[in-house]
Structure 1
Amino acid sequence: MFSKPDQPAPAASRPASPNTGKSVFGSDLRITGDVTSTGTVEIHGVIDGTLSARGLIIGPEGEVKGTVSAETVEVKGRFEGRASTEHLTLRASANVQADVTYSAVSIESGAQIEGRFTKAKQG
């Protein structure tokens, strides 16, 4: 009368591509260490370490210190360290002290930047 089914219930369906996800780190969050994602990561808190993702957005109150590797990087807050990216966008509120390797860059008037910006060699 009350028996378990022979087959487990089907697992929840997942998006077709793991790259469609977006992870948001709130302003009350501080992480020291490595962060890895196959999607986009949006930072409103503080990350101190290595971050690898398909996309990175550093919010106006966000701060990243360390090494970043992402296809796209958009900075509205503070970034300090090293970055390797295809597309770099620095908004007017950005404060960047970094060595960056990029393929394309966009810098809004008002962004504060210091460091070495190197265009990746096409090969």
Structure 2
Amino acid sequence: MFSKTDPLAPTAPPQRAPNPNAGKSVLASDLRITGEISSTGAVEVFGEVDGNLAARSLMIGSEGSVKGTVSAETIEVKGTLDGRVSTESFTLRATARVQADVTYAGLIIESGAQIEGRFTRPKG
């Protein structure tokens, strides 16, 4: 009548569904950060960042602003970027205002983007 194992009992706890926002950090428009930011995921900036930022991918929203050294595999700028940039893929949207020294592998610039700085493509 009693047994050590119940055939109807689950053998493992139920798995949670994957979180679609895992690895994505959003810095809201009312946020101002001074200092270092580092992420292994995606970062979206709608506020202001004054400092260095490293991430897998970075998107600066049209009202967002980053001033400092930026390093990411992919960077998309709709707002303001001032500093140094190192990236594989750099996309400047029409609303972008960039003043930076940029090292990139791939580059997309939409008509209307404001750019000042030096763009370098590594040899190799």
Are 2:62 and 1:66 equivalent residues in the alignment? no
Q: Among 82, 87, 92, which residue is 1:80 paired with?
A: 82
Report the number of matched residues.
Answer: 109
Alignment gaps of 5+ in structure 1: 1-9
Aligned-CA RMSD value:
1.8
TM-score (norm 2): 0.83
Match of 1:116 in 2: 118
Letter in 2 for 1:62: G
Shift >4 Å, 4+ stretches: 12-16
Q: Among 37, 47, 50, which residue is 1:48 paired with?
A: 50
CA deviation vs aligned residue, 1:26-52 (integer Å, no higher than 9, x gap):
000000000010111000000000000
* Separation of aligned partners in 1, 2:37 and 2:104: 21
Alignment gaps of 5+ in structure 2: 1-12
Match of 1:5 in 2: none
* Separation of aligned partners in 2, 1:49 and 1:13: 36
Higher share of residues assigned strand: 1
* Separation of aligned partners in 1, 2:40 and 2:18: 13
Are 2:58 and 1:34 equivalent residues in the alignment? no
Q: In terms of Rg, which structure is larger? A: 2
TM-score (norm 1): 0.84
* Separation of aligned partners in 2, 1:51 and 1:112: 22
